[in-house]
A and B are shown apart, each in its own frame.
Chain A
Amino acid sequence: MQVPAPFEYERAISVDDALALLDRLGPEARVIAGGHSLLPMMKLRLAAPEHLVDINDLRDLDYIRTNGSEMRIGAMTRHRTLLESDALEVQFPIFRDAEQVIADPPVRNRGTIGGALCQADPSEDLSAVCAACHAKLVIRGLDGERVVDMDEFHKGPYETSVGPAEMLTEIRLEMRPRPGSAYEKVERRAGDWAVAAVGAAVWMDEDRIADCGIGLSALGSNVLRAHRAEEELRGKPATDETIEIAGRAAYEECEPVTDQRGSAEYKRHLAYELTKRAVRRALERVPRG
Chain B
Amino acid sequence: MQVKMTVNGEEVTRDVEPRMLLVHFLRDELDMTGTHWGCDTSNCGTCVVQMDGEPVKSCTVLAAMASGHEILTVEGLEQDGTLDPVQQGFMEEHGLQCGFCTPGMMLTAKALLRENPNPTEAEIREAISGQICRCTGYMNIVKAVRWAADHQPSPLAQEVRS
Contact = CB atoms under 8 A, between A and B. Distances in A.
Interface string B15-29: 001111100100000
B65 interface: yes
Contact of B61 (A4, A5, A35, A52): A35
A3 B65 contact: no
Interface string B51-77: 000111100111011010000000000
Interface stretch (B90-98, B124-132, B149-157): B124-132
A110 B60 contact: yes
Interface residues of A, number: 28
A56 interface: yes
Interface in A144-181: none
Interface stretch (A6-14, A263-271, A275-283): A6-14
A68 interface: no
A9 B64 contact: yes
Interface stretch (B5-13, B40-48, B79-87, B136-144): B40-48
Contact of B65 (A40, A54, A105, A107): A54
Given A9-B1, A105-B127, A106-B55, A52 B18 contact: yes
A103 B21 contact: no
B65 A56 contact: yes
Nearest to B128: A105
A43 B108 contact: no
Contact of A104 (B24, B54, B62, B129): B129
Nearest to B49: A106
Contact of B42 (A6, A107, A190): A107
Given A107-B130, A109-B54, A39 B108 contact: no
B18 A35 contact: no
Contact of B60 (A8, A36, A56, A191): A36
Contact of B130 (A7, A32, A106): A106
A67 interface: no
A289 B42 CA distance: 45
A44 to B, nearest CB: 9
A2 interface: yes
Contacts of B20: 3
B129 A190 contact: yes
Contacts of B1: 9
B56 to A, nearest CB: 6
Contacts of B55: 105-106, 109
B129 A191 contact: yes
A242 to B, nearest CB: 36
Contacts of B127: 105
Interface in B86-114: 108
A69 B145 CA distance: 44
A36 B56 CA distance: 10
Contact of A191 (B19, B64, B130): B130
Given A36-B42, A106-B55, A109-B54, A9 B21 contact: no
A2 B45 contact: no
Interface string A96-117: 0000000111110110000000
A1 to B, nearest CB: 7
Interface string A1-42: 111111111010000000000000000000010011001100
Contacts of A32: 65
Contact of B40 (A8, A43, A103, A190): A43
Contact of B48 (A3, A7, A106): A106
A243 to B, nearest CB: 32
14 contacts: A2-B41, A6-B17, A7-B19, A8-B18, A39-B21, A52-B62, A103-B42, A104-B130, A105-B130, A106-B56, A106-B130, A107-B57, A109-B56, A110-B61
Closest 5 interchain pairs by CB? A104-B130, A9-B18, A2-B40, A106-B55, A109-B54
